[in-house]
């Protein structure tokens, strides 16, 4: 039987991200700090006004599930990637862990995780549950 080793949820308002979403070929310091090159490329081809906030929400949910914050640990925003497989369906996505996030995942003896996202024009939400 799988045991829950951590859980996290984050909710964001897409309107807060509108000015931070880059134009193709240009990126802001916020975008370069938070998102990998792959995420930026994928997000610009999907629905950027939802995919960028969803990516941020995903990262925050993982930080919470680990019991960490990017301000009080060695974790980097870029250690967690949310990539959308289909620009027309944001429910088709992949989460990749690397660096310190991957190390924490292993140290907590996690074998898997389950995730769920929801979105509307007014909010985005990402939830993650770490499992043994």
Confidence of residue 73 (pLDDT cuts 50, 70, 90): confident
What pLDDT shows up at residue 92? 94
Confidence of residue 70 (pLDDT cuts 50, 70, 90): confident
What pLDDT shows up at residue 69? 85
Q: What's the whole-number average pLDDT of the chain?
A: 93
Distance, CA of 51 to CA of 83 (rounded, Å): 9
Non-local (6+) Cβ contacts of 1 within 8 A are none
**Average pLDDT over every residue of 32-37:** 94
Domain ranges of the chain: 4-131
Confidence of residue 8 (pLDDT cuts 50, 70, 90): very high
- Kindly report the CATH number that applies to the domain delimited by 4-131: 3.90.470.20
User: For 81-121, how does the pLDDT look when each residue is reduced to its tens digit (9 = 90+)?
Assistant: 999 988 889 999 999 999 999 999 999 999 999 999 999 99
Distance, CA of 48 to CA of 25 (rounded, Å): 14
Non-local (6+) Cβ contacts of 8 within 8 A are 60, 61, 62, 63, 64, 65, 66, 127, 128
What pLDDT shows up at residue 29? 86
């Amino acid at each position: 039987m799988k045991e829950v080793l951590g859980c996290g949820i984050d909710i964001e308002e897409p309107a807060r991200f509108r000015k931070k979403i880059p134009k193709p070929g240009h990126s802001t310091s916020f975008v370069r700090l938070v998102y990998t090159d792959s995420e930026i490329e994928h997000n610009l081809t999907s629905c950027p006004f939802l995919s960028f906030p969803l990516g941020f929400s995903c990262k925050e949910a993982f930080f919470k599930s680990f019991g960490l914050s990017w301000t009080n640990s060695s974790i980097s925003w870029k250690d967690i990637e949310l990539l959308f497989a289909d620009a027309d369906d944001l429910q088709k996505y992949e989460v990749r862990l690397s660096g310190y996030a991957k190390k924490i995942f292993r140290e907590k003896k996690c074998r898997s995780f389950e995730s769920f996202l929801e979105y509307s024009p007014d909010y985005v939400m990402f939830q993650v549950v770490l499992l043994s």
